[in-house]
Every structure is written in C-alpha cells, then in structure tokens.
Structure 1
Amino acid sequence: MKIKRQKHAKKNLNFYKHNFRFREPYQVLLDGTFCQSALKNQIQIKEQLPKYLMGEVQLCTTHCVIKELESLGKELYGAKLIAQRFQARSCAHFQSPVSGSACLLSMVADDNSHHYFIATQDQELANKVKKRAGVPLMFIIQNTIVLDKPSPKSVAHVQALQANQLLPEHQKHNIEHLKDEQGVSQVTERGGRKRKRVGGPNPLSCMKKKQKNEPKPTTPAPERKKKKRKRKNKPSVNPTA
C-alpha cells in the first residue's frame, strides 16, 4: 500500500514539476486544521512529508494561521505549538489578521508564483484551492498524508495552452510523454500530425508466378544422313592363266 501511495504521489508531483515548474525544496503551507489532524493521528509532519514527496521540503505557515489558533483557546493549543515550529511567511495581513483560510488563499494568488503547496483539512478551503490552476493540495486521510490529483482547473489550463500553441518548451516533453502513454500520435515540431504516405503496390506482387514442373520444349534432333557404302569391284579371274 505504501509503494502504491508513493507511486501516485510521484505521478501527481511530476505533473506540477513539468507543467508549473515546481522544484525542491517544496514549500508547503499548513493551516490549523492540518496541524490538528496530524496531532490527533500521531503523524510526524517534519519527518513524513519529505519521505512522501521524495525530496527536500520547507514547512511553513502564516501569522494569520497562528493568530487564529491562539484565538480558538485550549482545544487547539497543541496544533498551535506545532504550527509555531514552522516558518511564518509574511502576508499582507500582519497588522489586521484575517482567517487562516483567507490568508492561505491570498498566498497562492497571482498564479501561485512562489509555488506553494496547500495542506488543509478544511473542505471549503480545498474547494477554493481547486478552482485555481497550479496549486497542489494535500490532506490527511486514514492516518496518512495524501497529495491530491491535479484539479480539473489545472488540467484545463495546460490543455488550453496546448490548444492555443502557447505551450512553453519545458512542458512539451511532458505532454508528448502523456500522449505516448495514451496511444495518441505524436505532434511534430511544426504542429501538424504525421501522415502516413500512400505507397504503390508491391512490385514483387505484380510479377507473374512461375509455373512449377512446366515441361521444357524439345527441338527435334537433326537427321543424320546415312553414308552410302561404296562397294568395291572384285578383280576378275583370267581362266587361261
């Protein structure tokens, strides 16, 4: 099960790497709900996330998330302690904090130029994240961390670039690879599809077949002329001798 889970994570991660230029160290923004769920399920985020993503990871949050956890009282005290261990990225709400979900959404605005992952258990926040292209979503399910598959918005974004021939060079290799897996013909550099040339008939098939065991024509041998044998005359015998 662990191997299968990492295989799916690698496939989904490669989508963002090839199409949206995600690189290590991966920056993961966590909210209070994710920290609380990790505490409840005894998940060591700092140890398990790098192993799951198979690369270097930077765990971070925002001041708004920490302020929200502090305002919720003792029930989320443990989640607040976990969040405080991570880097607090500066946001636009330092003087007037907003809710954690609103703050994280603002961090992935402008096409997610900083390449953040969003880790949350808030379903409402997750639905809003899926409406933005190029934002990987992570959550905890059945005591394990899961990287969600690319959202329809992200897939449609890549397909639109391809259709309008605006696909950057770094994405062409990934698209061609996906086409090969699906059995679709490759696209040439000029943008057209390869056409099969119509060839003529096989010249060998046009040749007449040789008839087997065909008797060879025989020519009559020339008649030999019989030589006439000359008869020699016997000498006459003289009776008087």
Structure 2
Amino acid sequence: MRVKKQKRHRKIVRFYTACYGFRQPYKVLCDVTFVHHLVTNRITPADKALSNILGAPVTLYTTKCAVAELKMHGPSLGPSHSESLEAATSLITARCDHEKALSADDCIMDVIGKNNSEHFFVATQQADLRKRILKIPGVPVVYSLRTALLLEAPSAAQRQFVKTSEEQRLHMTDLEYKMLEKRAKNMLEKDSSDEDVGCGDQNLQVQAVEKKRTARKELGVKDKVQFKRKKAKGPNPLSCKPKKSLKRPDLYSGKERKDEDASVRSTNKRKRSRKGKRPVEADG
C-alpha cells in the first residue's frame, strides 16, 4: 500500500513540475489547522515528513494573518495551543501586505493569487479551503489523515487549464503571424534580386564562351575532346589458363597394357639354379 501511495505522489508531483514549472526545493504554505494537526499527532520533524511524500527537500512557510488568528483563537484548541503557536512562529513568514489582519483562509488565497506565481504547495486541514484552492490552476494541496500525509490529485479544472494552454501554444498569435508574413515578404524580394543578378552573370559567361569558340575557329584550332570513351579490351593472355587438348582414347591400349604386364612378369621370374644335379655320362 505504501509503494502505491508513493507512486501516486510521484506522478502528481511530476504533473505539477512539468505543466506548471515547480522547482526544488518546494515551498509549502502551511495553514494553522495543519500546523496544529502536526503537533497533536506528533508528526515531527514536519519538513522531513513533507519531503518524504514530495520526494524532494521542502521549505515551510506561513503568513502573519494566520499566526495572528492562532494567537486570537488559540485557547479554544486546548492544551496544545502553546506548542502550535510556537511551531507556527518558527516557520518562514510569507509576504502579505495586509494592514488589517484577515482570516487565515482569505490571506492564503490572496498570497496564492490567480496563478500561484510563487509556486506554493498549500497544506491545510479545511475541506472548504481545499475545494477553493483546487479551482485555481497550478496549486497542489497537502492534507493529513491521522498520522499519514497525503497529496491531493489535480482537479479537473487544473487538467483542463493545462490542455487549453497546450492547444494555444500550437497556434500562432497575431503578432507572430505578422512577423512571419513580413519575413516571408523580405525573403521573396531578396530571392528575386538574386535571380536578376544571377541571370546577368550567366549571360556574361555565355558570351565569353561564344567569343572563345569563334576565335578558335578563325585560327583553325579544333576543340579538344574532353572525354574519350575507353574501348573494351580483351583479357590478359598471361592470366588465362591454356586450352586442354582432347586426346582420342586408343582402342588398343588394353592389349598393350596386357603385353607390358606379361613382359614384366617374365623378367621378374626367379631363375632356378641347377648346381646340385649333374648329367650322368653314358658308358662308352
């Protein structure tokens, strides 16, 4: 469950950074109700808890009107009033030029303005204030449920504002259209002047070539052929194999081979010695 929540928070933060230009460290404008909730539920340190859900370092802010309201109505909050007041005064005070103190809700809405130019994350526990803030484009809201801090998903109005602004970027404004038309006109005039100059230079070149040709003809000099066609040459005779002569097989080769084999066998016969046997001489 915690992994899914972290993924959802990262996706929401990525939406505001990509579409509205939020940058680190993120600024969190805290309402007094949110500060009191952190103190009573012992969610400390607050900056570390908020940086965990936003995935980046944060800087906590509040307003003078919010602190004044906490001082005035603080005793109704119970024994933790002094701790909440101390925690609220330790935060950085956002600039609000109100001579007369307003309510904390109105002061926060005035500091945010119409487009949240300071890129504040607003942390509050009031449901009505959260609904009012989500109608303004580019204002993310943080709230708490017991000990868990949550980041409100972008509203339909904020998503529609992003969609319409992207569509407007795709189309040119009147000023851009006039500038483009003027630039195209200047380029056409420049191209026409370049063509006139180029035609004049080309005519001069043609006249010079014709004069050169007539001068060569008068002198009786023939124009040289610029490109000669290479004739196809035959193969290198040294790199070719010699032709094989086909001999007719001899009809009598078989008989000759047999005769040769017979003569070889006759020469290879072992001669027997007759030394032991002597011829008997007949008596006279």
TM-score, normalised by the number of residues in structure 1 = 0.66
Per the alignment, residue 11 of structure 2 pairs with: 11
Per the alignment, residue 62 of structure 1 pairs with: 63
Which among 121, 127, 150 is matched to residue 125 of structure 2?
121
Give the match's secondary structure for 2:121.
Answer: strand
Which among 79, 83, 88 is matched to residue 78 of structure 1?
83
The one-letter code sitting in structure 2 at the alignment partner of 1:160 is T
Identity, % of aligned pairs? 30
Distance 1:142 1:73, change over 3 A: closer
Report the Cα distance in structure 2 between the residues aligned to 1:77 and 1:103, rounded to whole angstroms: 22
Give the match's secondary structure for 2:50.
Answer: helix
* Structure 1: gaps of 5 or more residues: 168-241
Per the alignment, residue 94 of structure 2 pairs with: 89
Flag the structure with larger Rg.
Answer: 2
Per the alignment, residue 139 of structure 1 pairs with: 143
Report the Cα distance in structure 2 between the residues aligned to 1:166 and 1:122, rounded to whole angstroms: 39
Report the Cα distance in structure 1 between the residues aligned to 2:56 and 2:32, rounded to whole angstroms: 24
Aligned-residue CA RMSD (Å): 1.5
- 2:53 aligned with 1:49: no
Larger RCO, structure (CA 8 Å, separation 6 or more): 1
* Contact 2:114-2:136 within 8 A present in 1 as well: no
* Contact 2:125-2:144 within 8 A present in 1 as well: yes
Shift of 1:102: 0.5
Report the Cα distance in structure 1 between the residues aligned to 2:22 and 2:170, rounded to whole angstroms: 19
- 2:107 aligned with 1:100: no
TM-score, normalised by the number of residues in structure 2 = 0.56
For residues 146-176 of structure 1, give each alpha carbon's deviation from its aligned partner in whole angstroms, at most 9, with x where no partner exists.
1110111110101112333459xxxxxxxxx
Distance 1:99 1:161, change over 3 A: same
For residues 175-198 of structure 1, give each alpha carbon's deviation from its aligned partner in whole angstroms, at most 9, with x where no partner exists.
xxxxxxxxxxxxxxxxxxxxxxxx
Give the match's secondary structure for 1:71.
Answer: helix
In proportion to residue count, which structure has more helix? 2
Report the Cα distance in structure 2 between the residues aligned to 1:102 and 1:134, rounded to whole angstroms: 18
The one-letter code sitting in structure 1 at the alignment partner of 2:95 is S
Report the Cα distance in structure 1 between the residues aligned to 2:157 and 2:114, rounded to whole angstroms: 15
Shift of 1:100: 0.5
Report the Cα distance in structure 2 between the residues aligned to 1:132 and 1:126, rounded to whole angstroms: 10
